[in-house]
Chains A and B, each alone.
Chain A
Amino acid sequence: MKATILVRPKPGILDPQGEAVQSSLRQLGFTVDKARVGRVIDLELDASDAEAARAELERACEQLLANPLIESYEIALAR
């Protein structure tokens, strides 16, 4: 089973990387009002049960892949 995990800075958290990206895009002429930069983690895992895999990945996010203080995460599973 394959999984994609999207980690984002939580709303309201200052994201200097996003600000730098936004300002660079504007310099290039793109009319971008806001940019937020997160992280994508692609995983392949040995699991047949989607529900169990999701529970496992949630634990992985809470313990390592995201910092729940400042980041939110989304898990997408694909066969």
Chain B
Amino acid sequence: MSTERRPRIAVIVFPGSNDDRDAALALEGLGAEATLVWHAERELPDVEAVVLPGGFSYGDYLRCGAIARFAPVMEAVSAFAEDGGLVLGICNGFQVLCEAGLLPGTLRPNASLEFVCRDVQLRLERADTAFTSRAEPRQTLTIPIKHGEGCYFADDELLAELERNGQVVLRYEQNPNGSVAGIAGVVNQRGNVFGLMPHPEHAVDTLLGSTDGALVLGSLVDAARERLLTAA
């Protein structure tokens, strides 16, 4: 029914975020109602999901995401995740989630020390998550990356645990940044927090060269809608 309320998704805006509006626009295009939420807020509005967008929060000082994780809104985001709420971190958002301990591992400067900005091919390892349900298992996705610090690191023990738990959701077909095991995106064990370095919000229209990002964001919108319906 057209009178149904659209699922609401908060997009957090840190000082230095720069993909917040692109993320909001992409989510709106996929049927969600996107709300920008300033980092200084202590509470989240009534939403079904939260997106931490790309950018350079707090100038990437110290380490990417290290300062942003202490932003006032992050306490609310952590509580939201603890309650089982859906949280997606894109690029800098992924870095923030790792620094906040909401996702395992960390992101380090690219092995090449070069900023990489181009489309990459990704292999989908899990099509059964809230963030990938619209895609086919083992599907290859084309989504751009643009980062200087996207080298995912987990020590051997943690890596083995991630592989065992099936927490590696996306892998680069050709490793662009030195990430261990070619990891491009990981989900937490519970399955409600997902982070990836590629930018799905930049691949939602044929004009952008690919629409594969819509499979990721569309899956999130679907999952958010489901939450809305079950809550009603």
**Interface residues of A, Cβ cutoff 8 Å to B:** 13-14, 16-17, 20, 64-65, 67, 69-70
**CB of B108 within 8 A of chain A?**
yes
**Interface residues of B, Cβ cutoff 8 Å to A:** 62-63, 66, 70, 99, 105-106, 108-113, 151, 153-155, 178
Residue pair B113, A70 in contact (C-beta under 8 Å): no
Residue pair A17, B109 in contact (C-beta under 8 Å): yes
24 contacts between A and B (CB under 8 A): A13-B108, A14-B108, A14-B178, A16-B109, A16-B110, A16-B111, A16-B112, A16-B113, A16-B178, A17-B109, A64-B62, A64-B66, A64-B70, A65-B62, A67-B63, A67-B66, A67-B106, A69-B105, A69-B106, A69-B153, A69-B154, A69-B155, A70-B108, A70-B153
Residues of A within 8 A of B155 (CB): 69
Residues of A within 8 A of B108 (CB): 13-14, 70
Chain B CB within 10 Å, residue with most, of A13, A20, A67: A67
| Cα(A14)–Cα(B110), bound, Å | 10
Residues of A within 8 A of B109 (CB): 16-17
Residue pair A70, B106 in contact (C-beta under 8 Å): yes
| Cα(A20)–Cα(B114), bound, Å | 11
Find A17's partner among B62, B113, B154 (CB 8 Å cutoff): B113
A18 to chain B, nearest CB (A): 10
| Cα(A64)–Cα(B154), bound, Å | 19
Q: Which residue of A lies closest to B66 (CB)?
A: A64
Residues of A within 8 A of B105 (CB): 69
Q: Which residue of B lies closest to A66 (CB)?
A: B63
Q: Which residue of A lies closest to B155 (CB)?
A: A69
| Cα(A67)–Cα(B111), bound, Å | 18
| Cα(A67)–Cα(B98), bound, Å | 10
Find B153's partner among A13, A17, A64, A65 (CB 8 Å cutoff): A13
